[in-house]
Amino acid sequence: MENLVATLTNTQFLVAVLAAVAAAAVVFSIGATFFSGGSQMRQRIKRVALEREKMRAEEMARLRGGSGGAEQQSRTIRQAAGRDYMKNVVERFSLEKAFMDDGTAEKLARAGYRGQAAMTTYLFLRFITPVVLFVIAFAYLSLVIFNDKPIWLNAVYALGIGLIGAYLPSILLKNQTIKRQQSIKRSWPDALDLVLLCVEAGMSVEHALKRVAKEIGAQSIELSEEMTLTTAELAFLEDRTRAYENLGRRTGLDNVKSVMQALIQAERHGTSVGSALRVMAEEGREQRMMEAEKKAAALPPKLTVPLIVFFLPVLFIVILSPAMIRVFSNSFIGGGG
């Protein structure tokens, strides 16, 4: 035991372990950039297909006057996508009552995670992450860092780390949501212009969204996925306005919600969809121009600190160096004479 502790506390051993971890992280990150694109696309296509089949089963069950087919199809999807042991833990400890609220499913949908399997995984992680971090932190603190301190003190430190880990799944979910919303926000104006062109060319809204979803996939996979789901909902849902509302709710972006509200008003009042899309596209372009002007106006104050810290000292050195060299050289020559 003493040899193990001495090995773990050895500086050279820790440096070697950290170097190996860093090298493995670099290799993994470089490899992930080459192999993650196709796998992400396949996973997203699979999730879209599962959502489409689920909506189809629900609509067929509704038309038949029963809900048995929908429940059976939903159960099959959950069993294929989820893991039984996570589901057992969630049900045994009643984690849905402890960690789940009315907005949890919507938060997961905004991050790109849908279905009962994603909900089960999220609840399981919120429960198990503090426990795992507490055990790892307590073992590391007791054996490596604070091996001479009392056990209760290490337990208190590990408990604090475990409490911080309780918020880790929520933080990761929020970061994933922000990244997804940024991708959708960057590609939404182009997608809206393409939808407008397709509608004015004579296509219906369903065919326009389907066409744009294929074209915009190279720019934003997230937006392509959302538009594909909206196309499926327009085909299977009885109320078309629900499909538009679901798209705005899943993205959580004001630009998307405003366009969806315009489409809903056009559907209800029978006005021209092309005119509504043209007005919203113009407003989107004006908003992008205002955001660009706002960023340009905020640039000079942001450059003040880098200018003072990095540019002005170099400028002073370049200007004053020749004069200082001449003064010192003259003083040395005069002193020598």
- What ranges make up the beta strands (E) of the chain? none
- DSSP code for 219: T
Could you identify the residue written with the tokens 């405003």?
Answer: 258
**Is the Cβ–Cβ distance between 157 and 146 less than 8 Å?**
yes
CATH level 2 (architecture), domain 183-289: Up-down Bundle (1.20)
Per-residue model confidence as pLDDT tens digits over 202-247: 888 889 999 999 889 888 899 998 999 899 888 888 888 899 999 9
What's the confidence (pLDDT) of residue 173? 92
Residue 94 Rama label (left phi>0; alpha psi -120 to 50; beta): left
Answer whether residue 51 shows pLDDT above 90.
no
The phi and psi torsions of 10 (rounded to 5 degrees) equal: -70, 135
- Percent of the chain surpassing pLDDT 70: 74
Per-residue model confidence as pLDDT tens digits over 23-46: 666 566 655 555 555 555 566 666
What's the confidence (pLDDT) of residue 333? 67
Per-residue model confidence as pLDDT tens digits over 173-196: 999 999 999 999 999 999 999 999
CB count within 10 Å of CB 239 equals 10
* Rounded average pLDDT over 77-104: 74
Structure tokens at 206: 């369903």
Burial of 209 per CB tally in 10 Å (0-12, 13-18, 19+)? buried
Comparison of pLDDT for 247 and 9, the residue scoring more: 247
Dihedral angle sign, alpha carbons of residues 270, 273, 279, 280? positive
Amino acid at 41: M
Residue 311 to residues 270, 307, 319: CA-CA distances in angstroms?
61, 5, 12
| Distance separating the N- and C-terminal Cα atoms of the chain | 75
How many helices (H) does the chain have, and how many strands (E)?
A: 15, 0
What's the confidence (pLDDT) of residue 79? 47
Per-domain residue ranges for the chain?
Answer: 1-35+80-178, 183-289
**Is the Cβ–Cβ distance between 284 and 192 less than 8 Å?**
yes
The CA distance from 257 to 245, in Å, is: 8
Answer whether residue 293 shows pLDDT above 80.
yes
Structure tokens at 319: 């200007």
